[in-house]
């Protein structure tokens, strides 16, 4: 049998596609290691937005004139492109939202309003981003339901035994982060989905951190809703995706009212547009959708296998380099992880480390990463988070290690 492997990623060429890497920061080469927060944009994405605004701008679904027709067709193509990208069978199941946060809020509000009642339970995990906690707290408070939390082990992994015991006939919904934004843990989401399906419970997966590191197939995952943000996928801010099964979306009431989401309006009664327009009230982010289309084309043009191999190399180098620094603790050591690392250094606040790194042109995140319950679980108020992407290099990883050593010298003398 012949085993074919993808050609190695040409990182030098890839970096030329991202204008941001042509600049310096504080007189130093930019080392961008905050990809879990937001990714940089390739020229193809920038040009897609610019071309729309310069040569084809018009609102969609509003006019019979050529510009509006062209914009509408491009927006519809973007929706179909997203559907194919995530393995969705029906483009009408793809709802454009502002991002992951709005997508989760939409489901928690609309589905929760229709289905949650006093005594019901919603299950989330201890490693959720705040956007996977607060919307469900609001929905549970409104219905008199209870929020239950799957605990996290010392390694930063889900306690599956606890999850199995916690998901019962009283559970009405499970909402779970696919990949931890704070520690990079790749959760065994299919196992959790299977636990939920034994009781006929719908599952939402927060794919904000998973979407840029490998192919997603919502049908294979078996979930009922999947959400992600464009800006995590090298696309513009202000655009995101909620995918949901048509039967569930059809049965949910609108999240917002206004233009574009209606069929007929009278003062006595309003009827609503079919999917997905029922959930896209008002003027949508057309340019953002076109930018997302361009970002998907760009990423898939690189080969997921090549991306994964390169990111594995970066992660292994980073873990080895950082583990050798005295006084540095890696927070969470999951067996399966995306290239996201959270760390603390004894006696030095993460914000101070981030400041020293910034002086060296290195961009990392320092704080609680919108995951305060997870920080509390590990007994730290904050961490330094370095998150890698395919345009990062081994030199970037080495610069991070050297920068942290420099931080220790500055604050310990």
- Residues catalogued as catalytic: 370
> Are 332 and 378 spatial neighbours (Cβ–Cβ below 8 Å)?
yes
Give Cα 241 to chain centroid, integer Å: 10
Sign of CA dihedral 23, 29, 35, 37: negative
Total Cβ atoms within 10 A of residue 59? 16
> Are 83 and 90 spatial neighbours (Cβ–Cβ below 8 Å)?
yes
For residue 363, the SS3 value is: strand
Total Cβ atoms within 10 A of residue 366? 19
* Token digits of residue 76: 């519809």
> 89's torsion region: left (phi>0), alpha (psi -120 to 50) or beta?
alpha
> Are 314 and 289 spatial neighbours (Cβ–Cβ below 8 Å)?
no
- Relative to beta strand 262-265, strand 340-345 is unpaired
């Amino acid at each position: 049998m012949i085993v074919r492997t993808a050609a190695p990623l040409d990182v030098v060429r890839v970096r030329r596609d991202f204008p941001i890497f042509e600049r310096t920061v504080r007189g130093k080469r930019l080392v961008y290691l905050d990809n879990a927060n937001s990714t940089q944009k390739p020229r193809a994405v920038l040009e897609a937005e610019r071309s729309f605004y310069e040569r084809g701008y018009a609102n969609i679904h509003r006019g019979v004139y050529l510009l509006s027709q062209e914009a509408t067709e491009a927006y519809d193509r973007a929706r179909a492109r997203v559907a194919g990208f995530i393995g969705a069978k029906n483009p009408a199941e793809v709802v454009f939202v502002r991002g992951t946060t709005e997508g989760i809020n939409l489901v928690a509000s609309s589905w929760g309003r229709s289905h949650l009642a006093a005594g019901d339970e919603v299950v989330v995990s201890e490693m959720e981003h705040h956007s996977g906690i607060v919307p469900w707290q609001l929905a549970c408070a409104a219905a008199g339901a209870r929020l239950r939390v799957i605990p996290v082990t010392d390694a930063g992994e889900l306690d599956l035994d606890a999850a199995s015991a916690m998901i019962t006939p009283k559970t009405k919904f499970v909402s779970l982060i696919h990949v931890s934004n704070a520690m990079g843990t790749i959760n065994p989401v299919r196992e959790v989905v299977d636990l939920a399906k034994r009781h006929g419970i719908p599952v939402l997966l927060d794919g904000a951190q998973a979407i840029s590191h490998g192919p997603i197939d919502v049908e294979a995952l078996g979930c009922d809703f999947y959400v992600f943000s464009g800006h995590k996928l090298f696309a513009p801010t202000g655009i995101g995706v909620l995918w949901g099964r048509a039967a569930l979306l059809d049965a949910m009431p609108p999240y917002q009212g206004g233009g574009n989401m209606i069929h007929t309006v009278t003062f006595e009664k309003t009827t609503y547009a079919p999917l997905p327009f029922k959930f896209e009230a008002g003027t949508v982010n057309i340019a953002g959708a076109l930018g997302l289309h361009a970002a998907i084309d760009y990423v898939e043009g690189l080969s997921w296998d090549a991306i994964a191999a390169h990111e594995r190399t970066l992660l292994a180098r980073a873990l080895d380099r950082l583990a050798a620094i005295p006084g540095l603790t890696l927070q969470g050591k999951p067996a399966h992880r995306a290239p996201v690392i959270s760390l603390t250094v004894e006696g030095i606040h993460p914000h101070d480390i981030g400041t020293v790194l910034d002086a060296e042109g290195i961009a990392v995140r320092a704080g609680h990463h919108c995951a305060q319950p997870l920080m509390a679980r590990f007994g730290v108020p904050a961490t330094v988070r370095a998150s890698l992407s395919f345009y990062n290099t081994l030199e970037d990883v080495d610069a991070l290690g050297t920068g942290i050593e420099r931080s220790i010298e500055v604050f310990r003398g």
